[in-house]
Structure 1
Amino acid sequence: METTVCPWCQTEIVWDEELGPESECPHCQNELNEYRTLNIDIDTEEDELATPKLSHTYDEPTSIEPFWEQDIINAPVAFRALDKYESSHDLMNYEEMVEKVLDQQEEVPECPICHEYMLLTGQQQITDSNFQPTKVSFLQSAVLQPPFTVDIYVCSGCFHVHNTLCEADRLRLIEGLSK
């Protein structure tokens, strides 16, 4: 019988020679093939340990920015929409006010674009005149009948607008589909 040590949880895995090696750790379900495994050759001289050779390449940062700020600097333009107002507005005060508004909200959704928290800016009533419901044949009616209300959220970082069904109409939708 041979043994393998899981590189993630350090569990010793004993496998039967008839069945063959395990493809994943039975303890942490880590794949034991080379997909998530890093093999380091320990039989090297001290000079080689000082300058490790990596199997992949990466761009070294040109400035001495903290690691967490590098992601912001390399972020797509949509994520950095707030920064263009930095010279003309006090963004520290803006962020404080955003925090106060978020503290007052019952729900605080995360922006699907930049993952900042979204501000509830209002509600919109959807009526018969501006909404054409989809009728489902086996329901013999629409999935959601107007009028209903949607909450409108705006991202505090990239200003993406997002709508979600209000709480009362969520319950109405659940009750209508659960009959």
Structure 2
Amino acid sequence: MVETTICPWCQTEIVWDEELGPEEECPYCHNELKGYRTLNIALGSDEDWEDEDETSGDDTDDAGLWQEDEESHLNAIRRAEAFAGAGGDLLAYESGVEKQLDAQEEVPECPHCREYMLHAGTEPLSPGFKPVHMQTKNMPLLRSNAVLNVYVCSACFQVSRFLSEDDRNQLIKTVSEE
């Protein structure tokens, strides 16, 4: 009996001799046929999916990560809808957010829910900030009077801080100078 396999990478039909058996590498494109690069999709009923989820036991699989992201995004939407339910005008809020985003030079995405963030202001580094000195020269990596841009997510209201553009440029110059 001859076993036939289709390479998932080059779509070439591979016919293996029954005495040799299947190889782990495609003889044409030399990609692995088994292991971490192969995705096996089981088609079946919803019960099969539930059984597979219970038996996988791997908390770090990609489906779980996507599910967490989707849940946090839905929670952000629920917060905005709660605002609308409390008498707020959600359309007016969204319109105001769009106008503010259009006026911003930078529009970062929220690391939590991936919505766009509003520039809320600036903040100096705290007075207790002690800069690290570079190994190759005796100068601080970041100036102690550096300024942070503060951003607020328009959906989940997470707050993020980033170096101001001037301080980013200064950091680049400091690190790249010899």
TM band (smaller chain): 0.5 to 0.7
- Kindly state the Cα deviation for residue 98 of structure 1 after the two structures are TM-superposed: 0.6
- Kindly state the Cα deviation for residue 55 of structure 1 after the two structures are TM-superposed: 3.3
SS at match of 1:110: coil
Which residue of 2 is the match for residue 75 of structure 1?
71
Opposite residue 11 of structure 1, the aligned amino acid is: Q
Which residue of 1 is the match for residue 12 of structure 2?
12
SS at match of 2:144: coil
| Whole-Å separation in 1 of the counterparts to 2:42 and 2:114 | 34
- Which structure is higher in helix share? 2
TM-score by length of 1: 0.65
| Whole-Å separation in 1 of the counterparts to 2:129 and 2:35 | 53
Q: Deviations over 1:104-144 (max 9, x none)?
A: 112111111111110011122337x4532223444322210
| Whole-Å separation in 1 of the counterparts to 2:135 and 2:173 | 18
Which residue of 2 is the match for residue 154 of structure 1?
152
Specify whether residues 53 and 117 from structure 1 end up closer, same or farther in structure 2 by C-alpha distance, changes over 3 A only. Answer: closer
| Whole-Å separation in 2 of the counterparts to 1:106 and 1:156 | 16
Q: Where do 5+ consecutive residues of structure 1 fail to align?
A: 41-50, 59-70
- Kindly state the Cα deviation for residue 101 of structure 1 after the two structures are TM-superposed: 1.0
Q: Deviations over 1:77-106 (max 9, x none)?
A: 863433321212011110111111111112
Which residue of 2 is the match for residue 37 of structure 1?
40
- Kindly state the Cα deviation for residue 146 of structure 1 after the two structures are TM-superposed: 2.3
Specify whether residues 124 and 13 from structure 1 end up closer, same or farther in structure 2 by C-alpha distance, changes over 3 A only. Answer: farther
Which residue of 2 is the match for residue 171 of structure 1?
169
Preserved contact between residue 2 and residue 15 of structure 1 (Cα < 8 Å): yes
Q: What root-mean-square deviation, in Å, do the aligned CA atoms of Structure 1 and Structure 2 show?
A: 3.8
| Whole-Å separation in 2 of the counterparts to 1:118 and 1:30 | 42
| Whole-Å separation in 2 of the counterparts to 1:93 and 1:133 | 43
TM-score by length of 2: 0.66
| Whole-Å separation in 2 of the counterparts to 1:90 and 1:161 | 23
Preserved contact between residue 5 and residue 11 of structure 1 (Cα < 8 Å): yes
Q: Deviations over 1:16-56 (max 9, x none)?
A: 86992327x949x786459512366xxxxxxxxxx857632
Which residue of 2 is the match for residue 144 of structure 1?
142
Q: Where do 5+ consecutive residues of structure 2 fail to align?
A: 52-66
How is 1:27-176 mapped onto 2 (pairs within 5 angstroms)? Answer: 32=34, 36-38=39-41, 52=45, 55-57=48-50, 75-76=71-72, 79=76, 80-88=78-86, 89-126=88-125, 129-176=127-174
Specify whether residues 108 and 13 from structure 1 end up closer, same or farther in structure 2 by C-alpha distance, changes over 3 A only. Answer: farther
| Whole-Å separation in 2 of the counterparts to 1:120 and 1:54 | 47
